[in-house]
Amino acid sequence: MKSFLKYGVIYLAMGLAGCAGSPKQIHSEAVEADPWQNANRKVYAFNKALDKVVLSPVTKVYATITPDPIELAVENLFNNLSEVTHFANHLLQGKPALAANDASRLLINSTVGLFGMIDVASHFGLYPEAEDFGQTLGYWGVESGPYMVLPFFGSSTIRDGASLLADYQLDPLGDYKPVSHRTGLQALQVLDTRNQLQDVQELIIGDEYTFVRNAYLARRDLQIRNGAPALDDSNDFDEFDEFD
């Protein structure tokens, strides 16, 4: 939980960074990135109402009755399963070193780490490097397209929304049988994810929809650039203009 709070602070910082600039510039960029804002706000309101009535109360019960070590084990378990997706997408991006890191984490945590419930690999300096198909498409130059809010799934873009199917195909839970067990595990995964978001909610300031949108877009941009600063070509070679 503490580690996710750290990511929440980073999420907040990126959201604020996405709001930087003059009011006119901010409005122009928002219209370009979010042309379907009216519809998106309605879906966002639906998701929030569903969360308030169903998901949030159930999650609070889960957090109350589940000991912290068990919560961490569940979180680690699902993180370990996601290494399959990370591995495939690092290969698709032509990053064998990172793919080897993913494979090593999966092997170590699935065996020594008791099916992934203990993150043993991190103690060996093998840290998670999250990657999904949306990032892979972005890595190869596919534009994100307009921002959109999906029912149940939340913030996305045209590119990331279309990538959900590919990520689902790589999800080990997708083919898990019997179906009743798979459904139970997927429900637990949703609870685990929602439980990690409890602290992040407290960091939202201003208009909630705008904050979440800006934070999501900034975070996705940073992920696709692998943390590298954005390049601004507007002033490239300006210092050499005098030689023209």
| DSSP secondary structure string for all residues of 122-168 | GGGT-------HHHHHHHTT----SEEEETTTEEEEHHHHHHHHHHH
Record the tokens describing residue 28, joined without a space.
Answer: 């122009």
Closest to 217 (Cα-Cα) out of 23, 65, 39, 17: 17
Q: What is the pLDDT of residue 72?
A: 93
> Is the Cα dihedral 15, 20, 24, 28 positive or negative?
negative
* Mean pLDDT of the region 192-210: 81
> Which residue type sits at 64?
T
Query: Cis (ω within 30 of 0) for the bond into 146?
Result: no
Residue 120 is given by DSSP the state -
Average pLDDT score over residue span 64-86: 92
Q: CB atoms < 10 A from the CB of 94, how many? A: 10
pLDDT for 19 beyond 90: no
- Domain locations in the chain? 37-203
Residue 209: its pLDDT value, please? 94
Check residue 3 and give its pLDDT: 36
Give me the pLDDT at residue 100, please: 97
∠ Cα 190 117 89 (to 5°): 65
With a cut of 60, say whether residue 1 has pLDDT above it.
no
How far apart are the C-alpha atoms of 213 and 193, rounded to whole Å? 19
Residue that wins the pLDDT comparison between 20 and 60? 60
Average pLDDT, the chain: 81
Can you name the residues that pair with 200 across neighbouring β-strands?
none
pLDDT computed for residue 20 by the predictor: 46
Calpha distance 135→141 (Å, rounded): 10
Residue of 5 and 204 predicted with greater confidence: 204
The pLDDT-based confidence of 227 (bands split at 50, 70, 90) is low
DSSP string, 202-230: GG--SSHHHHHHHHHHHHHHHHHTTTPPP
Asked if residues 171 and 60 have their Cβ atoms less than 8 Å apart, the reply is no
pLDDT tier, 184 (very low <50, low <70, confident <90, very high otherwise): confident
Residue with the bigger pLDDT between 14 and 40: it is 40
Residue 61, token pair as written in the block: 């019960």
pTM of the model: 0.76
Could you identify the residue written with the tokens 């685990």?
A: 192
The letter for the amino acid at 152 is F
Q: Retrieve residue 103's tokens.
A: 């494979």
Average pLDDT over residues 197-208: 77
| Of the listed ranges 98-102, 156-160, 172-176, 230-234, the one predicted with least confidence | 230-234
Per-residue confidence at 61, pLDDT binned at 50, 70, 90? very high
More confident residue, 49 or 232: 49
More confident residue, 177 or 21: 177
